[in-house]
A and B are shown apart, each in its own frame.
Chain A
Amino acid sequence: MIFDLDMDKCVACGACAIACMDQNDTAPEKGEVPFRRVGTLEPSLGGGKFSWLSISCMHCMDAPCIPACPVCCLSKDENGLTVYDNTLCIGCRSCAMACPYGAPTYRADGRMEKCSGCAERIKYGYEPACVRVCPTGALLCLPEDEYERVKPAASLRDASAV
């Protein structure tokens, strides 16, 4: 599956972030950090134009967080999503240092959590929660061949290639 954001369609409304918190039972009042962040960039920082963004794990094909984890908590599932089992997580922050998108977050007990692409929903044929609620169709999560057919011109994936 390919995750992407069509930056021409995003209006930074935050519906995706709320859906993500709901899906993952994120409790900010307990210090838990939401997996998806939404915001805008002023033209002075956005290359001369105003930008609207929604950012979370992009489920990179060659995900740098996977080899960075010293205890092998992170892996790819059968759909290409970057998933994790934090049972053995030691909270060393190596995955945070590897990730260009700032996706890993840490619970109060030090263990890492991140967007798993709603892997369980996808297994049962549903869209990820953030994609499902996006009112403008800016967020995409599609199989590779389908994605290539509808790939947006203002792709965050392309713009943020590292």
Chain B
Amino acid sequence: MQYRFSNSFKYGIYAQNIPHTFAVNIYFRDSTCIYTIYVLGLFKHTNTTEVVDIKSAAVIGFGCAGFSAARALRQAEPERVIDIYSDTAEAPYNPMLTTYYVSGKIDESTMFPLGDLETIKKELRVNILCGTPVKRLRARERVLELDGGRGRQYDDIIIATGAGAVIPPIKNLPERGIYTMRTASDARRLERALNGVKSAVVVGAQMVGIKVVELLVKRGIRTVLCDMERQMFPASAYERTAAVIAGRLERAGVELRLGAAITGVSDSGKVLSASFSDGSETSADLIVFCSGIRPNIAFVDREEIDVGVGIKTDLHMRASVPHIYAAGDCCETYSPLTGKNAYIGLWANSAMQGRVAGNTIAGVQDEYHGNLIHNITHYMDTDFISVGDVRSEGERVFWQGHGWQLEATVSDGKIAALNILDNAGVSGPVKNALLHRAAHPEQPMSVHARLLLSSAGVPDAIIKKLGGEGA
């Protein structure tokens, strides 16, 4: 609980009750300076001329989830002190837009679709502490440790630190010519580097890698795409669908090195040379690592907070410690198709999870309904869609017609996962039909989804399996 003592101060002075300790926080609303004075011993506060119950919340990280959490909390609680800790000085950016910026499809400001920092700060009335990474979270005490050992206690804390690009452990990686594609800063760096580039290696045949390949090919750059797995989209495509995708890429001039992990990179000073686990080598002007992401949660004590791939949360985005919440790409939450937690890093998930976290803190009834693992990517005139875990066991079903194809896993008579190639229009009805079936297994598939799929040419038998009627 916090109390604001008087409005006569130019800045806010807040005090917090901690057992056997009284903490006075001198708080400059419009600056990053925060001082905390702890007074040890039993303290009985009296003589408050004006006591106003005011609470505080910290948001760690300022991407889509952090923004959405702060916005929901502000809408519900106009008086709440909200401090946002960011390790950059950037407005929330969308990682997905980085490749679109490098390709020239959007300008730099469009990478920041939620607005600039000053506007956000004014509209949400929050304190944004730029360049202030949180070094450690003492979750049970609800204390953030900052640089220099400074600590700050909050009533509620939302972890929204997102995820960062991973570079595989390669010894003696050169200092120049190596790129990742996750942040706005990554995008600017690659965009600046591309002038005069004749050849490139992209590591990772997944959703980010394919968009980097697309922009390189469009610029006429000789492009090698490698992955340690033997197929395209190894986490989300069936072998058969992946083979179609690979064939198209090769016809577009992309050199594929599938089943070849990058094992070393050397630098002659003029050009890089990449070596692969299959014994092959290739030279390139630059190498872009798109080999996956990992939640940014190094500051979280795993002895205190339950962590799987990301921070484990419930449907209200509560972590395992009271008053600690997590949202976005740093957390994992419920997937209705499996009934288990899953790590699904998507912009829309982050927005909804952030909103739910903010509302839950404010006591507004809200719940995240969970989601399925799903992806859609549009590149080089191809739409590739994946829903569910394609590695799940079951019978494989394939259908092709009307200019598109569908491949699915059928388990217990029901479609458990699927790939669609070249029909984005049915992706929404299909994904939502699976979500609906998971949430309401007793209900039939909706008539509108049946009609849309039927008119797209999908055979009745497959539609029935989507609706779970084959069980």
Contact = CB atoms under 8 A, between A and B. Distances in A.
A161 B427 CA distance: 17
B447 A97 contact: no
Contact of B352 (A33, A53, A67, A103): A67
Contacts of A46: 447, 450
A162 B371 CA distance: 12
A47 B450 CA distance: 10
B76 interface: no
B53 interface: no
A160 B444 CA distance: 10
Contacts of A92: 96, 100, 376-378
A39 B374 CA distance: 28
The residue in A72, A100, A156 that gathers the most chain B C-beta atoms within 10 A of its C-beta is A100
A45 B463 contact: yes
A160 to B, nearest CB: 4
Contact of A70 (B347, B383, B427, B444): B347
A11 interface: no
B110 A101 contact: no
A106 B347 CA distance: 21
A97 B431 CA distance: 7
A162 B438 CA distance: 10
Contacts of A40: 451
Majority DSSP secondary structure for residues of A touching B: loop
A101 B451 contact: no
Contact of A55 (B105, B110, B452): B452
Most buried by B among A102, A106, A110: A102
Contact of A160 (B113, B351, B376, B446): B446
Contact of B428 (A90, A91, A102): A102
Task: Report the interface size class on chain B.
Answer: 35 or more
A45 B452 CA distance: 12
A100 B455 contact: no
A110 B378 CA distance: 10
Given A90-B97, A91-B378, A92-B96, A160 B428 contact: no
Nearest to A105: B425
Contacts of A41: 447, 450-451, 454
Interface string B111-145: 00110000000000000000000000000000000
Contacts of B300: none
B460 interface: yes
Interface string B344-382: 000110011000000000000000000000101110000
Given A44-B460, A71-B106, A162-B432, A96 B376 contact: yes
A70 B97 contact: yes
B94 interface: yes
Interface in B392-422: none
A129 B435 CA distance: 32
B432 A94 contact: no
Interface in A125-162: 156, 159-162
A102 B436 CA distance: 15
A99 B448 contact: no
B94 A97 contact: no
B97 A100 contact: no
A100 B429 contact: yes
A19 interface: no
B413 to A, nearest CB: 16
Lowest 5 A-B CB distances belong to which pairs?
Answer: A100-B432, A67-B351, A99-B428, A160-B446, A93-B424
16 contacts: A45-B464, A53-B448, A55-B448, A67-B352, A70-B94, A71-B97, A92-B100, A93-B424, A96-B376, A97-B427, A97-B431, A98-B348, A103-B428, A104-B428, A159-B447, A160-B449
Interface of B: 94, 96-97, 100, 105-106, 110, 113-114, 347-348, 351-352, 374, 376-378, 383, 385, 424-429, 431-433, 435-436, 444, 446-452, 454-455, 460, 463-464
Interface of A: 7, 33, 37, 39-41, 44-47, 51, 53, 55, 64, 67-68, 70-72, 88, 90-94, 96-106, 110, 156, 159-162
Given A72-B114, A159-B448, 4 more contacts: A45-B463, A88-B106, A93-B377, A102-B426
